[in-house]
Structure 1
Amino acid sequence: MHFPTIKQLRYFNALVEFNHFGKAADSCFVSQSAFSVAIKELENALGGQLVDRTNKSVTVTNLGREIYQQSLTIMTEMKKMLDLAHGNLSPLSGKLSVGMIPTIGPFVMPQLLPFLNQQYPDIDLEIHEGKSADIYAQLMQGQLDVILLALPYEMRSVETLALFKDRFRLISSVNNKWLKGRKFNINDVGEGSILLLDDGHCLRDHAISACHIKNVDKVSQFTASSLLTLVEMVKQDLGVSFIPEMALSLPFFNNNEVKVDALEFDAFREIGLAWRKGSTRSKEFHMLGDSIITAVEDKLKLS
């Protein structure tokens, strides 16, 4: 009996994810011909067809999808084995792949990277940015070691570590037409007055929850794809919005076009780490959490 190799399984995972032989081969840094041979050898070893091939498309068979799920589990277990090996190294040394959401990464990294380089010079840090759903999927597939995101976020088979609260602030255009000089009250603002990020951004969900936005009519039909776009929309007085306190370090807040106010209630998102349950690097991830808190404590009032 010939067992599949890790290389063959890795190639097959890439094929399912890219659904294209050429793109999958490129992602694995091999020629398409060598890639195709490896997939065929995998099918021969398993005794079944994993994909239907045509000139224009790749269709994963039912068997292929079952094998793909099993392969993800195998890769996760292999990652655990590597984690175990890393446990013999000094803490926070060697390769560490960290996923971050785009509404955290740009505000944490300028302080965190110099601190980690000074405190843990042997660390080989890889940063990957993406939405919460994407980095969580990459974590569970073994592509990432740990992720930094805003909580709460529904996840399974992970351990989480809450780090600090990131409070929301109200932003509005100077002399805006929405508040009319009054303090913000969700019941007083008009329909379509609140600007938020697009669906799929967890910051949108956290703002809706933390700021008690229960009436969807209060939310504008216009949405933003990034915090920068959101601030520009506020500058144009298309509405008011909520911004995480850590984002106030951005240079475009240092002008007279955007007004920043504290809210009358305590609205926040919680910043935390998550990693696969049972990881042997749990102690290191707690150390990483301490480093993140230390690196940003001058920028935020943590509680």
Structure 2
Amino acid sequence: MNITLRQLAYLRALGHARSFSRAAEMVHVSQPALSVQIRELEDQVGQPLVERRPRDVRLTRAGRRVLETAERVAAELRALQAEARRGLGQVNLGVIPTIAPYLLPAALPGLRAQGALRLREATTEELIEEIGQGTLDAAIIATPAPELFEAPLFEDRFLLAGTPDQLAMNRGLAPQAIDPDQLLLLDEGHCLADQALALCGLTRAAQRIDLGASSLTTLCALAGQAMGLTLVPEIAAMQESRAFPTLALLRFSEEPARQVRLVRAREASDPETWFDPLARVLKTAGDGLIAQARKRF
């Protein structure tokens, strides 16, 4: 019997997606390639693993047993990858784009003291997927991830950003009262955009200005030129206000916030030796940025 890790990975994708096309997308191969590997796995096991239906895919009893084994193998591989990195003293850390350029420079001295660090900037969805795959050890995100272990770092409140004249007309405003015609948001896939829409009680369809911007700095530059209003988290307030002198920041009457957290796989090995110290460094840096912003604005 010659069962490969690739075949087990494809079965895991199929078990979760219950569709050959969606499973193929999950593992980034063509549908025919995935189907061939599943059939070869069935040949190795000696019995059908999948019931192929017109609109659905269901695992057989044997398929469910093999899937359980595949999940255990995947978990062991993730643990092995993490242990190998631990042996090299390296931590692979992911961070979302609306946190990375602000928190990481402030935390860098403490991070260097923790040992070798490899950084990856990506969206929340990508980071969570990579933790599950074992290619990342931990990630800094700002939305709940129930499937992962979470260590709260700090609360990051939102400020309204625009020109002084624009903000004078919106003083005392609640987020829900922002004119959709004025709201500038990041492109889809960025959790800050989703959070801003939720806070303002809006949907993408209600937002009139579609920039496709991938950077909070881009939004601040536009807001500083009276192109509209945007929401700026406290950790970004000092840096963006220094970069754009025409940009003004205003606190809401009811201050919305996001919870920044450090997450890892629940089965991570020896978290007290690397995860807990990492969380302390990041929390200290974040608290410092928040204190500066609350003193200034």
Moved more, 259-268 or 216-225: 216-225
Q: Does 1:280 align with 2:290?
A: no
Shift in alpha-carbon separation, 1:204–1:274, aligned structure 2, 3 A:
same
Change (3 A) 1:254 1:243: same
> Deviations for 1:228-278, whole angstroms, at most 9, x for unmatched residues?
221133133232111011112435644431111122222111110111112
The answer as to 2:161 corresponding to 1:166 is: no
How big is the alpha-carbon RMSD for the aligned residues of Structure 1 and Structure 2?
4.0
What residue identity is the alignment partner of 2:137?
D
**Which residue of 1 is the match for residue 124 of structure 2?**
132
1:62 Cα deviation from its structure 2 partner: 10
Aligned equivalents of 1:79 and 1:187: distance in 2?
Answer: 43
User: Larger % of helix: which?
Assistant: 2
- Residue 288 of structure 1: CA displacement? 0.9
The answer to whether the Cα contact below 8 Å between 1:102 and 1:129 also exists between their aligned partners in 2 is yes
CA distance in 1, matches of 2:228, 2:159: 14
**Within 5 A, what are the aligned runs for 1:43-58?**
none
Specify the code of the residue in structure 2 equivalent to 1:281: D
Where does 1:144-183 land on structure 2 (aligned, <5 Å)?
144-151=136-143, 153=144, 155-176=145-166, 180=169, 182-183=171-172
Shift of 1:16: 7.2
Matches within 5 A, 1:1-303: 1-4=1-4, 17-19=27-29, 74-83=73-82, 94-117=89-112, 119-120=113-114, 123-151=115-143, 153=144, 155-176=145-166, 180=169, 182-186=171-175, 188-209=177-198, 212-216=199-203, 219-223=207-211, 224-250=213-239, 253-283=242-272, 284-301=274-291
Specify every segment of 5 or more residues in structure 2 that has no aligned partner in the other structure, as ranges: 14-23, 31-39, 48-56
**SS class of match (2:169):** coil
CA contact (8 A) 2:94 2:140 kept: yes
Q: Deviations over 1:2-27 (max 9, x none)?
A: 353x699799999974438xxxxxxx
Label 1:45 to 1:96 Cα distance change in 2 as closer, same or farther (>3 A): farther
CA separation in 1, counterparts of 2:194 and 2:127? 17
Evaluate the alpha carbon distance shift between residue 173 and residue 114 of structure 1 in structure 2; reply closer, same or farther with a 3 A threshold: same
Residues of 2 paired with 1:70 and 1:235: CA distance?
56
What is aligned with 1:29? none
Distance 1:62 1:69, change over 3 A: farther
What is the match of residue 37 of structure 1? Answer: none
The TM-score normalised by the length of structure 2 is 0.70
Distance in 1, matches of 2:239 and 2:251, equals 17
| Number of residue pairs matched by the alignment | 263
Cα distance in 1 for partners of 2:108, 2:67 equals 36
CA distance in 2, matches of 1:10, 1:124: 30
1:179/1:189 contact within 8 Å kept:
no
Aligned 8 A contact 2:82 2:134 in 1:
no
> Cα–Cα, structure 1 residues 256 and 71, in superposed 2: closer, same or farther, change >3 Å?
same
Inter-partner Cα distance in structure 2 for 1:208 and 1:15: 29
Are the equivalent residues in 1 in contact too, given 2:178–2:200 (CA < 8 A)?
no
Q: d(CA) in 1 for partners of 2:83 and 2:170?
A: 59
User: What is the CA-CA distance between 1:191 and the residue it aligns to?
Assistant: 4.3
8 Å CA contact retained: 1:96, 1:124: yes
**What are structure 1's unaligned runs of at least 5 residues?**
21-40, 49-60
Deviation track 1:119-138 (CA, whole Å, cap 9, x = no partner) reads 33xx2211111100111111
The answer to whether the 8 Å contact 1:195/1:230 transfers is: yes
Is the Cα–Cα contact under 8 Å of residues 102 and 130 in structure 1 kept in the other structure? yes
Deviations 1:156-176 (A, max 9, x none): 431111110111111012323
> Matched residue of 1:80: which SS?
helix
For residues 69 and 215 of structure 1, the distance between their equivalents in structure 2, rounded to whole angstroms, comes to 42
The 1:62/1:296 distance shift into structure 2, 3 A limit, reads: same
Provide closer, same or farther for how the CA distance between residues 187 and 80 of structure 1 changes in structure 2, counting only shifts above 3 A.
closer
SS in 2 for 1:192: helix
